Each structure stands twice: as structure tokens, then as C-alpha cells.
Structure 1
Amino acid sequence: MMTAVLLYDGDCAFCSTCAHWLQRWAPARAEVVAWQLADLETLHVTVAEADAAVQWVADGDADRDDDGARAAGPEAIAAYLRTAGPHWRVAGRVLAFAPVHRVAWPVYRWIAAHRHRLPGGTPQCALPSTAREPGPGPGGRTAP
């Protein structure tokens, strides 16, 4: 059985909204966790990597990058979708398809740069994580 984690920015309202949407509408065989509440050391993910883009770590082997075991940004989203229901698996394969993939990263970067202006976003989302005020994470828990 696959063990997988999708890490997102729990300090960003837009990112949290997207992560909760995925959990609700595209449930997968993966945990969806705010990186601020995750044991990044065990997952072999740095704070800089987690802060830069959504991260996917599967099968407990964070050092492998084949078979979707480790991915970031749209590749991470594609890997997550490939573990969800049949329709979502197709969407994950399409997102990983080379022509789509070439467009996915620029779109992902644009969304990340403008997430504070998107639905569910707040002005706090525009700040780099080091400039954000620490606050309660998902479920009211305070991030470590």
C-alpha cells in the first residue's frame, strides 16, 4: 500500500482552500498536510522547498524522484490526482503529459505569485513565509 503526502502552505488561505477542495472532491490515497505541521525532516523536504511549491512525497522514499515518489508544483498535483478516483487519475495523467506539463509550470508560478488576489486568498498570502505572522494552522492548531 502506498504511503503518500501532499504538502501545501497552510499559512496561505488560497492554498488551504485548494487543498481542502482536493480532499473533498478528489479524495486520494494520500495525506494532505500543511507543511508547517509536517515533519519535514522525516520527509526529506526542506523549508525552502515546501515554501516554494506544493510537494509530493510517496512511499516513504523522499530521495527517489522516479514513479512520482517525489515531485513539486504541478507535478505534485498530477501525482496526487493519479492516486484519486478513475476520472482524477486521467486528469493526473493529462497534467503530466509533456505538452501540458510545459505549460503547467508557468501557470503554477503565475497562480503562486497572484494567489493573494484569487478567490479564497488574503493579503497575507502575498507575503513570503518568513514575513508572515505565525497563526493557527488548519483545525486551529498552531504551527510549530
Structure 2
Amino acid sequence: MTSRPVPVPVLVYDGDCAFCTTSVNFLTRWVRPRCTVTPWQFADLDALGITQERAEHEVLWVSPLGTVYGGAQAVAKLLLSAGGGWAWLGGLLTLPPVRWIAHGGYRLIAANRTRLPGGSPACALPADRRPGAKA
């Protein structure tokens, strides 16, 4: 799967997950990243070079050159794009051993998002079994 360059970075997240949507809304309001934000359910995944399986698994950052970063590194790129103190934090998340800890923390949160505030039962279902999924 090859991606086409995008004019600005794109953050792709799970729009069916209330926890993910709440998190992205918080980040866009308070952090103000310089990117386009879209749920994977409405994104042209082929054009972005992303599989549906990967989009269901983690938040993704697609750079203007088409490089795809996932999970904690996608969050790091988002923070870097915001500039200021956020960029400092994003840069820290890219450095070992902080990067390794961030990856583990992201996986722990992702695995338990149905139990977190804002999480919903839809978060736990595979995409084809979620409410409103196309048959």
C-alpha cells in the first residue's frame, strides 16, 4: 500500500470510540496541533497508505511525505506539531527510554479504553460488528 503526499499532516483516530474521540477533542482544543484530524471511518485510508486493521489498532499520524507513525509516536508527532512546550514534550516522547515507556503506556491505555472515562462498548467490538457498521 503506497500513500500519496498530503499537504498537511493527518491524524487518524477511531471515531466510533468515545474515549478516542474525547481525547482527540481535548488535544485539538488545548494543544492545537497543526494537522487535519479525521476519524478513520471517514478517511481515504488507501490514499493515506493505511490499512483498516492498523487504523482500528492505534491512532495514526501521516506526515506530508506519507510516513505513518502509530500509537505513542503519533501522539509525539502531534505534540511536536503544536510547538512551544508541547513540542518539548513531543520530542521527549521520541527518545529512548521515554519512547519505550510511552509505547507501553499507550498499549495499556488502548487495551483498556472500554474501561476508561468516555469509553464505550463499541470500542471493544471489531469494526464490522460495531453499531451502524455496513453489512
State the percentage of identical aligned residues: 44
Aligned letter for 1:86?
Answer: G
Match of 2:50 in 1: 45
**1:1-144 aligned within 5 A:** 3-59=8-64, 61-62=65-66, 69-134=67-132
* 3-state DSSP of counterpart to 1:28: coil
| Contact kept? 1:27, 1:85, Cα under 8 Å | no
- How many pairs does the alignment contain? 128
* 3-state DSSP of counterpart to 1:121: coil
Aligned letter for 2:15?
Answer: G
Aligned letter for 2:103?
Answer: W
What is the rounded CA distance, in whole Å, between the counterparts of 1:5 and 1:78 in structure 2?
13
Aligned letter for 2:35?
Answer: A
Aligned letter for 1:88?
Answer: W
Runs of 5+ in structure 2 lacking a partner? 1-6
What is the rounded CA distance, in whole Å, between the counterparts of 1:57 and 1:120 in structure 2?
25
**1:128 Cα offset (Å):** 2.2
Aligned letter for 1:39?
Answer: D
Aligned letter for 2:131?
Answer: E
Normalised TM-score (structure 1): 0.83
Deviations 1:37-70 (A, max 9, x none): 11111111110111111111011x32xxxxxx32
**1:96 Cα offset (Å):** 1.0
Runs of 5+ in structure 1 lacking a partner? 63-68, 136-142
What is the rounded CA distance, in whole Å, between the counterparts of 2:33 and 2:56 in structure 1?
23
| Contact kept? 1:9, 1:34, Cα under 8 Å | yes
What is the rounded CA distance, in whole Å, between the counterparts of 2:83 and 2:74 in structure 1?
16
What is the rounded CA distance, in whole Å, between the counterparts of 1:56 and 1:80 in structure 2?
7
